Structure 1
Amino acid sequence: MLIFIAFLYFCLACSAIWLVVFPSGREFVAQIVSGRWSRIDQRLSSLHQVGVREVAELRHGTGRLLSRQLKFARRNALWLGAGLLAIIVPMVVVLTVGKPDALPGYESADLPPDPKVLALLAGENLAPPAALPPMAFSTREVELVRPMLVTASRNWGMLHPDFHQRLLMAFKIMREKHGYEMALLEGYRSPDRQNLLASIGAQVTNARAFQSWHQYGLAADCAFWRDGKLIISEKDPWAMRGYRLYGEVAESLGLTWGGRWTMMDFGHTELRVKGVMRK
């Protein structure tokens, strides 16, 4: 989207400079306004019929026109330079300052990370927890809340290394400080799976392929593990308290928490990296 806006601006700026600075641009507009375009078309048709001599004269005339334009450019170098800057500077600003697009309802709160918590990550190389039994993800209770979860990827190695460590640190803090054992429900998600989930309906997701940070290994859906069961339901007061604490911990680590979105997703966290979702 940003590239399209920059290209559109480039075309408009070039057209404006051509009309304002170059006499040929003003002449072109004048010819259209005065109804002379049809005569220009007739002239071009006649040139096609007259043969080599007329074509040679046309080339000679073009050379003289080019020479005049070069002289004009040298005389107006300052104005042309200013016009060039007017084209380039806004394009550079749009392409470098812009943020990755977020779907409506999924905007980030942009909360600053806690420097003290981030310091804990320095030199850390946390190991993923032991994998949960596959049957834990296929119970009726889980299917009602998260359909098709049994086929989701929970491979920590497919997550972005930076996000990987921040998420593990969040798990560690939740366990040691708040007494909640966290479980990874889904990390990396293929484009085909993303489209399949989106086809189920907005109650699952309205993000299609490459509109989700899951496709880049920069997002994860998590829940809680208690008494040998996954606790996902937001109707459970104990789980809702855990989600709130999880959101605070995740944001202190520089992650975006889905609980602040209009379309709330309490177990979702992501690490937004500039330039990733600009494709």
Structure 2
Amino acid sequence: MLIFIAFLYFCLACSVIWLVVFPSGREFVAQIISGRWARVDQRLASLHHSGIREVAELRHGAGRLLARQMKFVRRHYLWLGAGCVAIVVPMVVVLVMGRPDTLPGYESAELPPDPKVLALLAGENLAPPAALPPMAFTTREVELVRPMLVNASRNWGLLHPDFHQRLLLAFKIMKEKHGYEMALLEGYRSPARQDLLASIGSQVTNARAFQSWHQYGLAADCAFWRDGQLIISEKDPWAMRGYRLYGEVAESLGLTWGGRWTMMDFGHTELRVKGVMRR
């Protein structure tokens, strides 16, 4: 998007410079306004039938026009230099100030963190919950909703410390305030696994290696633990209500919630840290 805006600005700036600085630009506009364009078109059509001599004269005339333009450039090089600066500098600023998000459509809600929550983060060091039994990730429901989950990493130690604490605090709020027990499905994801999941299809992920915050320990996929089973599918009304509450809690902690994306991922949260992910 930023590149498209910069390209539009470039075209607009070049057009303005051509009209303001170069006489040929003003003449072109004047020809259009005065209705001379039709005569120019007729002249070009006649040249098509006038033979080699007319073509040679046209080339000679073009050479003289080019010489006049070069002379004009030499006389007004300061104005042209200023014009080039006016084109290049805003384009560079637009590109440099761009934020390195993951994929198109993955937009953050960017809600400011609650000061009370920040105080909790600073003063309380939460411990990860007990690991779930491996069999919990091999049920038919889990395989249908999240294939290859059994091999995913659920090592809390591989997560970024700041994200680690925010996620644990979200788990605590969900349990104590809303009565939902959360479960970590996948945290850190290796580049090789990211590419493998992307190869399955867009129903799993559109992100290739290093296009996802999982590779930096700054993202996690989570679901709910109820009556000894993982509840992942949002088709369950109880789970869908939980996902929306989880999104509110996560955003209050300064996290980005996947439920707001074009390709919604209700159990996904991430912490976007500037300077970590590169385009």
Q: Normalised by the size of structure 2, how large is the TM-score?
A: 0.70
| Counterpart amino acid of residue 214 in structure 1 | H
Are residue 203 (structure 1) and residue 203 (structure 2) matched?
A: yes
Question: Secondary structure, in 3 states, of the residue corresponding to 2:120?
Answer: helix
The Cα of 1:80 is off from its aligned counterpart by 5.3
Gaps of 5+ in 2: 22-57, 61-73
Mapped partners of 2:221, 2:172: distance in 1: 16
Are residue 95 (structure 1) and residue 108 (structure 2) matched?
A: no
Aligned length: 239
Mapped partners of 1:208, 1:249: distance in 2: 28
Q: Give the 5 Å matches for 1:1-279.
A: 84=85, 87-88=88-89, 90-96=91-97, 98-279=98-279
Asked if the contact 2:2–2:94 (Cα under 8 Å) also holds between the matched residues in 1, the reply is no
Mapped partners of 1:261, 1:226: distance in 2: 26
Mapped partners of 1:35, 1:274: distance in 2: 56
Asked if the contact 1:3–1:95 (Cα under 8 Å) also holds between the matched residues in 2, the reply is no
Asked if the contact 1:221–1:267 (Cα under 8 Å) also holds between the matched residues in 2, the reply is yes
The Cα of 1:83 is off from its aligned counterpart by 5.2
Mapped partners of 2:4, 2:234: distance in 1: 41
Mapped partners of 1:192, 1:181: distance in 2: 31
Relative to structure 1, is the Cα distance of residues 124 and 2 closer, same or farther in structure 2, using a 3 angstrom cutoff? farther
The Cα of 1:264 is off from its aligned counterpart by 1.3
Asked if the contact 2:109–2:251 (Cα under 8 Å) also holds between the matched residues in 1, the reply is no
Aligned to 2:31: none
Asked if the contact 2:259–2:265 (Cα under 8 Å) also holds between the matched residues in 1, the reply is yes
Relative to structure 1, is the Cα distance of residues 192 and 111 closer, same or farther in structure 2, using a 3 angstrom cutoff? same
Question: Secondary structure, in 3 states, of the residue corresponding to 2:123?
Answer: coil
The Cα of 1:90 is off from its aligned counterpart by 4.0
Mapped partners of 1:152, 1:169: distance in 2: 22
| Counterpart amino acid of residue 130 in structure 2 | A
Asked if the contact 1:109–1:256 (Cα under 8 Å) also holds between the matched residues in 2, the reply is yes
Asked if the contact 2:170–2:250 (Cα under 8 Å) also holds between the matched residues in 1, the reply is yes
The Cα of 1:167 is off from its aligned counterpart by 0.5
Asked if the contact 2:127–2:168 (Cα under 8 Å) also holds between the matched residues in 1, the reply is yes
Aligned to 2:39: none
Mapped partners of 2:266, 2:142: distance in 1: 15
Residue deviations 1:84-106, cap 9 Å, x none? Answer: 5763454144213x111342332
Give percent identity, aligned residues only.
83
| Counterpart amino acid of residue 96 in structure 2 | L
| Counterpart amino acid of residue 125 in structure 2 | N
Asked if the contact 2:175–2:182 (Cα under 8 Å) also holds between the matched residues in 1, the reply is yes
Mapped partners of 2:119, 2:91: distance in 1: 37
Mapped partners of 1:242, 1:181: distance in 2: 10
Residue deviations 1:148-207, cap 9 Å, x none? Answer: 000001111111111111111101111111111111000111111111111112211122
The Cα of 1:221 is off from its aligned counterpart by 0.2
RMSD value over aligned CA atoms? 3.7
Relative to structure 1, is the Cα distance of residues 273 and 6 closer, same or farther in structure 2, using a 3 angstrom cutoff? farther
The Cα of 1:109 is off from its aligned counterpart by 2.5
Relative to structure 1, is the Cα distance of residues 162 and 4 closer, same or farther in structure 2, using a 3 angstrom cutoff? farther
| Counterpart amino acid of residue 251 in structure 1 | E
Return structure 1 stretches of 4+ with deviation > 4 angstroms.
1-7, 78-86
Residue deviations 1:2-43, cap 9 Å, x none? Answer: 799989x99xx9xxx9xx99xxxxxxxxxxxx969xxxxxxx
The Cα of 1:255 is off from its aligned counterpart by 0.7
Asked if the contact 1:188–1:220 (Cα under 8 Å) also holds between the matched residues in 2, the reply is yes
Aligned to 2:27: none
Bigger mean CA offset, 177-186 vs 84-93: 84-93
The Cα of 1:222 is off from its aligned counterpart by 0.2
The Cα of 1:223 is off from its aligned counterpart by 0.6
